[in-house]
Structure 1
């Protein structure tokens, strides 16, 4: 899109500044000539202010905003990008056109090959999405996890919250926005290689009613979502909730979620690792991942121990049987020397 076209969109949005704010910055409210909100990601608060009236351009233009807490500033296209969690600028302009009831833009017949675009689903896209999100404390993500009986939320810096994360259905259905848990996938050196999104209901009571409420992006193979720093001992499982549930009973043990059975079987081992606990899901895919991972670990001299749930997975154990039963079941499955190191007394 040409710069002139982007400016025209920004001007059109500025003419509808209050309507834009009510839609994309719904956590805020009007105060005189301004819309007050916590930040450009639509958090509650009053540090960011958007001008609702003024000229189309220049000083004091309608739609211009400033965050007094961070010094950030921009226009309403930036609001749409950040609040929706969009990466590619074309998606931002299409969202703006949709809001303004304008026709979709035509593809550029002579695209500039030098124009940098972040490929959808790339590592860079994953890094940018995670950077847009905020810590989970006091958010819908924390509410969701606590409703799943997960209260061990220490060392969860790999998890963040995005209030309006873009969800693109398959086919030609319209794009939606939902709150989402954003998880950083990192390699052994702590470098982010991907991200995992879990779309949630606005009250945190469950997952959003979309066809695929969980999606990953970036480079996942061998890597995972990490809780704590592994040295000689690591526990690894499939899902984030399963791993955090096991960590409720073993709060000091470093753990990672590989996000699927296939990826669990292919995790990379830290050079210092001596013992690997495999947080198993009780299903055929989980059994296959367990067997392949045990074989790989033992092949390089790493002790492999399987942690099995009583029910279908450790979150089901936690919710149905309670934390005391979960701790008792885990205690008898780990080696004696690890009880004193990692078990919650």
Structure 2
């Protein structure tokens, strides 16, 4: 599929300087970068937008050196215009690029809740079913992820709508639904992973994973009991990374923040004393880890990194096996935590 968020971002990148002059008007050009205070168009010098593609990456990518935030030109449009729904962001990008706006198709269910809101997330979750015996269950097992029936944040939808953000084409495909919740256990958003109906993995889409709802500060929690303190936990960016850790350490509560930026803002549960952060190899992941570690230290929480042997812990689980992952983790956990969460080693 070519009509996706990444395609819209790529097209915006072809006109990066013009986009910056339109949406970051308080900045200025310096060499191959547009310099501005932040993604909300504040005056300053902290944020750099790459105007032409080079060896460091494509045009339109940006980073805020002060906050550690990063993203593409769709994020610029979202923040500078004060938009909250991605549908509105995509419409504004199409307007800027002079692309036709796709005809809107709404079902009765969609009309009952604002698209992309927490209410829409809760409605979609309620329409889904437990994953046991479904394509979602088989997908996770194929990734080496084995979770117990107590993980109620996971559901399966046999025909979840996927909307091509560029053309407006809508497909109905099976999807793994993961609830994003606050520390009180209330659903604030969702992450949808569309699956290939043949059972061979993710659906062949340009962006087969999308989130909706209110994500900042919240996460996909596995093993969280909102009524009990959580003295030790692990957090990371991706759901499959954290579900892999949960597979190997089923007694350890874990949270997937869904993105590096959201990882940086994850809320800490009451009574948390130690936070293990699953590291990713990319620069975006490092920014999220550094900011989360800083916030943890300010809250009196000891933050420790967990580093995979391959690209991430799901790669380790699939290619090296759970015993190898457990041995790797044992060397990185505090001894008391290793005895508690890896008792069989």
1:183 corresponding residue in structure 2: 178
- 1:271 to partner: Cα distance: 2.2
- 1:282 to partner: Cα distance: 1.7
TM-score (norm 2): 0.66
> Quick check: 1:243–1:257 contact (8 Å CA) kept in 2?
yes
1:341 corresponding residue in structure 2: 340
* Match 2:216 to one of 215, 218, 221: 221
TM-score (norm 1): 0.66
CA distance, structure 2, for counterparts of residue 204 and residue 330 of structure 1: 31
- 1:93 to partner: Cα distance: 6.6
- 1:153 to partner: Cα distance: 3.7
1:156 corresponding residue in structure 2: 151
CA distance, structure 2, for counterparts of residue 138 and residue 261 of structure 1: 32
CA distance, structure 2, for counterparts of residue 203 and residue 236 of structure 1: 32
Unmatched 5+ stretches in structure 1: 1-88, 96-115
CA distance, structure 2, for counterparts of residue 320 and residue 344 of structure 1: 23
* Match 1:130 to one of 122, 125, 145: 125
Instruction: State the Cα deviation string for residues 211-245 of structure 1 (Å, max 9, x = none).
Output: 21111111000000111126111111111111011
Change (3 A) 1:227 1:94: closer
- Aligned pairs, how many? 237
1:199 corresponding residue in structure 2: 194
Matches within 5 A, 1:231-310: 231-310=230-309
> Quick check: 1:181–1:199 contact (8 Å CA) kept in 2?
yes
- Alignment of 1:212 onto 2:207: yes
- 1:90 to partner: Cα distance: 6.2
CA distance, structure 1, for counterparts of residue 108 and residue 335 of structure 2: 59
CA distance, structure 2, for counterparts of residue 336 and residue 150 of structure 1: 25
Larger displacement relative to structure 2 (196-205 or 261-270): 196-205
* Secondary structure of residue in 2 paired with 1:206: coil
2:106 corresponding residue in structure 1: 91
> Quick check: 1:168–1:174 contact (8 Å CA) kept in 2?
yes
CA distance, structure 2, for counterparts of residue 299 and residue 203 of structure 1: 48
Q: Which has the larger radius of gyration?
A: 1
